[in-house]
Amino acid sequence: MEDTTEEPGTEPLDLADGKICQRPLSHHVSALQYGCLLRNGRSRRFPALKSLCAIMIFLTGLALAEPKAPDAAPDKPASAKNADQPEGDEADKKKPDKDEKKDKPKLAETKHSIVLNGAKIDYTATAGSLPLKDAEGKTTAEIFYVAYVRDGVSDLARRPVTFSFNGGPGSSSVWMHLGLLGPKRVKLKDDGGALPPPYELVDNEYSLLDETDLVFIDPVGTGFSHAAKPEEAKKFYGVKEDVRSVAEFIRLYVTKNTRWASPKFLIGESYGTTRAAALSGELMTRQRMNLNGIMLVSTVLNFQTIWGGDGNDLPHVLYLPSYTAAAWHHQKLPADLQGKPLPEVLKLAEQFAAGDYNHALMRGTALDKPARDAILKQLARFTGLSASYLDRADLRLSLPRFGVELLRDKDLQIGRFDSRYTSLVRDRLTETSEADPSADAVFSVFASTFNHYLRTDLKYEEDKPYEILGNVGPWNWGSDNQLLNVAETLAESMTRNPFLKVHISCGYSDLATPYFATRYTFEHMNLPAALRKNLVMDDYAAGHMMYLNLPDLKKQKADLAKFVRGASGK
C-alpha cells in the first residue's frame, strides 16, 4: 500500500521547523502567471478586464439601441405575467447560483442511541462532505466524513471531540471506525478470525462515544473524498500536501460546529500515526490550534526503523522480537521458551536483539566464526527457524521470507498485519509471501458492512465506489536521500505545548509496524525529560489492528478512555 516514488522538480518546505517534505515547483506558479499563458496563439486577458469590457459594451448597446414595441402573441398579451416565471429582479433572486449549488455540502443526519457501561447514550450521526477551497474561494477538494455527536450536551467546552483517520497512505477511515471507536463494529470471531459471508455489524459496547464525540476523516483519494479536478489530485498526494488538507478540514469542522472551546484529540493508525504527528505541528503553527492529546495505534514515525536495505541493519534488530511473538504463537519455539508467558519471552528476545545480535550485525564480515555460530544458535532459538537457513540469509531475515519459512512444513504463510493469521500457499517452494492472510480475512468484511451501513443506518446515498484503499500514488515523501522522520515534529509540538499528551498502542503480533521499533523511536526522540511523563504506552497481544481481538478491544477501550479523561481534564 505504500509507494515511495518521488516526484521530480521539487523544493523543500518546512514542517514545524523540520524539512521533511517537498512541494512541486509548479505549485509556485501564480494565478496571475497562468492568466497570461498563451492559448491558440493569442494572449489571454485578465478576467477582471474582460468583465469590465463586457459591461461597457452592454451599457453602450443599451444607450444606442432604439426601443421596440413588444410583439403581441395571438393567445397571450405581452404584459401578461406567469406566476411560475417571475420577471426582473425577482427572477434573478430565485434563480439558483450554479456554483453555490455545486459547493453545497451533501449531508445526511440520523438519530441513534446505544448503551455503554450501562448508560443509554443518544447521539446524532452525520455523514457527508466538506469542501476545501483555495484563496479565491474555488473548491479544490471534497472531504468525506462521518461524525457522531452526543445529544443533550449543554456545555461543549467540556465535551471532547476526536478526529480519527487510518493510514496507508491511501486508506479510508473505516478500520478504526468499525473496529475500535464507532458505535457499530464488525462481527468476527472473538480472536478476530474471519466468518463466512454475509457479514454483519453489531453494537460496539466498547465504543469511545461515551468519552468523546468522534469524527472519521477520509483524506483525498480515499472513501468518497476527491479532488475537484481529477488531474489535480496529485496536489494532495504527499506528506506535506496531505497534512495541509486534513488540517484545513479539522479547522473547518471545528469552526462550523462551534468546537474551538472543546478538548481536541487526534487518533491515527499506521501511516495515520505519521499524519497525526505531522498534524500536531501543522495545527499549532498554521491554525494556532493546540491539542489535548494524540492517540497513536500501530505507530511509525521514523521510517528508518521499518524500511531496511543495504547498509541499514536497524530494522533487522527491531523486527526480531515480533518474529519471536509469531513463533511463540505458532508453537515454533524451544520448549523452555514456549512454556513461558509471551511478555517474558519477549523481554529475553529484546535483550538478545539489542545486545549480542545488534553487535554482531555491526561487526559485519569482521565477526569471527565462533561468534557467528553462537549468534546463529540464539537467532534460531528466538525465531523458530533453522540455523542453516539463517546462515544462508547472512543473519538478516526479511519479513517476506520469514512469512513463508516459519510454517513451511505446513504449507502455510503468516500475516503481515497480524502474524496470528495464516493461509495456504500455492507455490510450496516460494521464497516470499504470496499474500497477507490477515488482510484477506477482514478487508471484505469491512468493505461490505460499511457500504451497507452507509445506506441503511446513516441514510447516505452515493453510487460512486467507496474507496476502502485508494490509489494515491506516486506519494511525495518529501525527503532527499533520507527516510521520513516526524518524531522530531511531535517532540517540538510537545515542547511548545507542554499540556499535549500522547498514548501509544502496540501489538505484539504486528509485523507491519513492530512494537520494538515504536519503543526505539520514543526512546530516541529528542524530548525534554520533564515531558516524558506525557507519554503513555500500552501493549496488546494481537497485531496491527489489535482491536479485532476481543480481549484486546476491551483493554484498549479502558486504556483510551482513561487517557482521554486525563488529557481533557476530566
Q: Is residue 450 part of a domain?
A: no
Which of these, 83, 316, 302, 118, lies nearest to 210 by C-alpha position?
118
Mean pLDDT on 187-209: 96
Chain length of the chain: 570
**Residue that terminates a domain, selected from 408, 440, 472:** 440
Residue 58 pLDDT > 80: no
Residue 99 pLDDT > 60: no
What pLDDT sits at residue 569? 81
Burial of 411 (0-12, 13-18, 19+ CB in 10 A): middle
What is the C-alpha to C-alpha distance for residues 267 and 177, in angstroms, rounded to an integer?
11
Is the Cα dihedral 496, 502, 507, 508 positive or negative? positive
pLDDT digits 0-9 by tens, 450-494: 999 999 999 999 999 999 999 998 999 987 768 899 999 999 999
Q: Is residue 50 part of a domain?
A: no
What pLDDT sits at residue 160? 98
| Strand pairing category for 201-203 and 184-186 | antiparallel
pLDDT band at 174 (very low <50, low <70, confident <90, very high): very high
What pLDDT sits at residue 265? 98
CATH number of residue 240's parent domain? 3.40.50.1820
Residue 375 pLDDT > 80: yes
CB atoms inside a 10 Å sphere around CB 229 = 12
- Looking at every residue in the chain, the average pLDDT score rounds to 86
Residue 71 pLDDT > 70: no
pLDDT band at 91 (very low <50, low <70, confident <90, very high): very low
- How many Cα atoms are found within 13 Å in the side-chain-facing hemisphere of 20? 28
- Do residues 150 and 287 share a domain? yes
- Do residues 251 and 368 share a domain? no
Secondary structure (3-state) at 206: coil
| Strand pairing category for 213-218 and 535-540 | unpaired
* pLDDT: which is higher, 102 or 339: 339
- How many Cα atoms are found within 13 Å in the side-chain-facing hemisphere of 443? 11
Alpha helices in 95-213 (DSSP H): 98-103, 174-176
Secondary structure (3-state) at 227: strand
What pLDDT sits at residue 55? 37
- Do residues 342 and 323 share a domain? yes
Type of residue numbered 201: L
The backbone torsions φ and ψ at residue 111, rounded to the nearest 5 degrees and listed phi first, read -105, 140
- DSSP assignment string, 245-258: HHHHHHHHHHHHTT
Is the Cα dihedral 135, 136, 140, 146 positive or negative? positive
The backbone torsions φ and ψ at residue 266, rounded to the nearest 5 degrees and listed phi first, read -120, 145
* pLDDT: which is higher, 70 or 171: 171
What is the C-alpha to C-alpha distance for residues 51 and 12, in angstroms, rounded to an integer?
38
Alpha helices in 385-514 (DSSP H): 387-392, 399-405, 437-440, 443-456, 487-496
**97 is written with which cell numbers?**
447560483
Burial of 475 (0-12, 13-18, 19+ CB in 10 A): buried
Q: Give the bridge partners for 185, in sequence order.
A: 202
What is the C-alpha to C-alpha distance for residues 537 and 421, in angstroms, rounded to an integer?
25
- Do residues 246 and 350 share a domain? no
Number of domains, the chain = 2
- Do residues 353 and 264 share a domain? no
**Residue that terminates a domain, selected from 440, 468, 503:** 440
What pLDDT sits at residue 249? 98
Q: Is residue 457 part of a domain?
A: no
Max alpha carbon distance in the chain (Å)?
112
What is the C-alpha to C-alpha distance for residues 224 and 212, in angstroms, rounded to an integer?
25
| Contact in structure between 386 and 409 (CB atoms under 8 Å) | no
Mean pLDDT on 59-87: 39
- How many Cα atoms are found within 13 Å in the side-chain-facing hemisphere of 182? 29
**441 is written with which cell numbers?**
480475512
Residue 27 pLDDT > 90: no
Element (H, E) at 338: helix 335-338
| Contact in structure between 273 and 301 (CB atoms under 8 Å) | yes
Secondary structure (3-state) at 517: helix
Q: Is residue 7 part of a domain?
A: no
pLDDT digits 0-9 by tens, 149-168: 999 999 999 999 999 999 99
- Do residues 220 and 292 share a domain? yes
pLDDT band at 94 (very low <50, low <70, confident <90, very high): very low
* pLDDT: which is higher, 14 or 504: 504
What pLDDT sits at residue 102? 52
What pLDDT sits at residue 17? 37
Cα–Cα separations (whole angstroms), residue 391 to 126, 201, 540: 57, 48, 32
- Do residues 494 and 558 share a domain? yes
Mean pLDDT on 342-354: 98
What pLDDT sits at residue 104? 60
Q: Is residue 277 part of a domain?
A: yes
What pLDDT sits at residue 310? 76
- Do residues 245 and 311 share a domain? no
Q: Which residues contact 511 (CB under 8 A, 6 or more apart)?
A: 319, 322, 323, 326, 399, 403, 414, 415, 416, 417, 418, 419, 543, 544
* pLDDT: which is higher, 373 or 89: 373
What residue has cell string 471545528?
Answer: 254
Mean pLDDT on 196-208: 97
**333 is written with which cell numbers?**
519455539
What is the C-alpha to C-alpha distance for residues 278 and 222, in angstroms, rounded to an integer?
19
- Do residues 377 and 486 share a domain? no
| Contact in structure between 125 and 110 (CB atoms under 8 Å) | yes
**Residue that terminates a domain, selected from 416, 440, 464:** 440
Q: Is residue 73 part of a domain?
A: no
What pLDDT sits at residue 415? 98
Q: Which domain holds residue 402?
A: 305-440
| Contact in structure between 146 and 216 (CB atoms under 8 Å) | yes
- Do residues 155 and 171 share a domain? yes
| Contact in structure between 412 and 540 (CB atoms under 8 Å) | no
Q: Is residue 56 part of a domain?
A: no
| Contact in structure between 522 and 513 (CB atoms under 8 Å) | no
What is the C-alpha to C-alpha distance for residues 505 and 503, in angstroms, rounded to an integer?
7
pLDDT digits 0-9 by tens, 271-307: 999 999 999 999 999 999 999 999 999 999 999 999 8
What pLDDT sits at residue 570? 65
What pLDDT sits at residue 198? 95
- Do residues 236 and 353 share a domain? no
Residue 247 pLDDT > 90: yes
Q: Is residue 446 part of a domain?
A: no
- Do residues 507 and 540 share a domain? yes
